[in-house]
Structure 1
Amino acid sequence: MQATERISIRTTPQTKAIIEQASQTMGLSMSQFMLNVVFEKSLKIINETPIWHLSEQESQLINEMLNDTTPPNDELKQLLTLGESLV
């Protein structure tokens, strides 16, 4: 696929010098180097970040549960005790 989009950034002279040195070490242009590094990091972030898609009903139910001030009944206390034994 042909690259048609442009990304433009400003940086300090020190940062530019470090990026130039690293890109030369890898035998890449600065553009190729920065694009490769940012692309790989972006994929890692996307793949490691959970994304939750809740329906309106699920979101409402969670909010109700979080805002519920009713004391736990005996069944819930027993269930919570079972969970503690698994840890």
Structure 2
Amino acid sequence: MRRIADMLDHPAEVVILCGCVSVKVARPGWLLVRLGPEATIEDGERRLICRKCGQRPTLKPKGIWNVTGGRDRRVDPPPMPDWVDLS
């Protein structure tokens, strides 16, 4: 199960692709507000509708490269889920 909430503490985004070549990039928090706290990527693909053409989009979770300073003392978040594309 690919829960959107698992990506919250990570530098990640979800690319929303539609058949009409419409592309939107969303943060996991935005999707959770729209879909609910227990939503999965599959729920988003079933429930979201493209505003331009009315088709169901495809959601592709992606990790974002972040560079922090050498003195960053924050506690590391849990590991990124293995289903998130890091390329």
TM over 0.5, yes or no?
no
TM superposition score category, shorter chain reference: under 0.3
Normalising by structure 1, report the TM-score: 0.23
Normalising by structure 2, report the TM-score: 0.23
Q: Return the structure number with greater relative CO, CA threshold 8 A, min gap 6.
A: 2
* Higher share of residues assigned strand: 2
* Higher share of residues assigned helix: 1
